[in-house]
Amino acid sequence: MSETAPTETEIRTTPLDALHRELGAKMVPFAGYDMPVNYGLGVLKEHEHTRRAAALFDVSHMGQARLKGVEATAALETLVPGDIRKLEAGRTRYTLLTNDRGGILDDLMVTQMGDHLYLVVNAACKEVDFAHIRAEIGDRAELEELDDRALIALQGPMAADVLARFVPAARHMTFMTASELHINDVPCFVTRSGYTGEDGYEISIPASAVEGIVRLLLGEDEVTVAGLGARDSLRLEAGLCLYGSDIDETTTPVEAALNWVIDKRRREEGGFKGADVILAQLADGVTRKRVGILPEGRAPARAHTEIQSPDGAVIGEITSGGFGPSAGGPVAMGYVKKEYAAVDTAVNLMVRGKAMAARVAKMPFVPHRYVK
């Protein structure tokens, strides 16, 4: 998920726009779309409800596409460091689009569906991402944008119980698997995934049918609607990056502590954008690293807060920060010089001109609860 500040003339809406307003959503411009930041419960209660039961998020602003053709996998591997060739049918993988300098153009989800790859990219990047993919792969594969589909995320420990009432097969899916299922007789594409650290599903639905399915799910006692505010606090507690804040074209996967996306074969063979830079960093190290930060006290440290060493030297910057309701206090992440990246290292955060004590912390701040 990424942030931008579009002009009024650029604002688009999702197929659920009228329903958001009916449900009392506070709407804000986000990634070129009018999106709900929260509803009547408020961000805190929406966050807590997601952790306790199940919440439904509209993520239809994300870019969905199919990459088709016999060379689709090989073509995509020239653009991402993940091992797409090893991906079995019905499996999903998180990976990164990289540039020639090793920077991150976007993060995305790739699902192997046998006759095509299903891609989900960030909303603010989707036009650039799709143009980049087309330009780089040429006629080796065909990229089909799915503009006629909506996308929702049902997240929380009770998500499986809820969805299984309408499609029992959903209960037997595991984390990062995918299946084509019918919900209320509507053909849907379901992945057991999400960006909250909780169990749950992302469901791609024909735009014309999405409102009916959302109303169906909201009719279950365990489910409430939730907006971008809760989505952000949930992913921050889960230690998950926000594109445009925690990762961008100036950060490499190694600096971002995303080494795990680069599989053994790709490390040995390379062959992706920026491989020379990224593989050298894997071998030799980097000068800065993304880390978790736990401020002492109750005051949160927001993005762009300066991080200093105990003796006052500038060593980095917060990229995401706020109050973590489930963590019980402020949480943050950011980049620091490598010599300060060890867990429990003492640092100071410059908040409103005053040094606030903090320490480097292991992420996630709240344990992931994926079903594997």
Is residue 6 over pLDDT 70?
Answer: no
Tell me which CATH code domain 8-62+148-237 carries: 3.30.1360.120
Give residue 3's pLDDT: 43
Tell me which CATH code domain 287-361 carries: 2.40.30.110
Nearest Cα neighbor of 185 from 160, 206, 158 is 206
Give residue 10's pLDDT: 77
Task: Using pLDDT thresholds of 50, 70 and 90, give the confidence band for residue 8.
Answer: very low
Average pLDDT score over the chain: 96
Domain boundaries, the chain: 8-62+148-237, 287-361
Is residue 315 over pLDDT 90?
Answer: yes
Supply the DSSP string of 50-103, one letter for each residue: HHHSEEEEE-TTSEEEEEESTTHHHHHHTT-SS--TTPPTTEEEEEEEE-TTS-
Nearest Cα neighbor of 116 from 156, 153, 159, 64 is 64
The CA distance from 197 to 155, in Å, is 9
pLDDT > 70 fraction of the chain, expressed in percent and rounded:
98
Mean pLDDT of 123-129: 97
Q: At CA 239, angle to CA 235 and CA 243, rounded to 5?
A: 65
H/E segment holding residue 284: helix 275-284
Is residue 9 over pLDDT 70?
Answer: no
How confident is the model over 139-186, as pLDDT tens digits? Answer: 999 999 999 999 999 999 999 999 999 999 999 999 999 999 999 999
The reported pTM is: 0.95
Do 8-62+148-237 and 287-361 show the same overall fold?
A: no
Is residue 286 over pLDDT 90?
Answer: yes
Mean pLDDT of 238-266: 98
Residue 107 is classified by DSSP as: E
pLDDT > 90 fraction of the chain, expressed in percent and rounded:
97
Give residue 1's pLDDT: 42
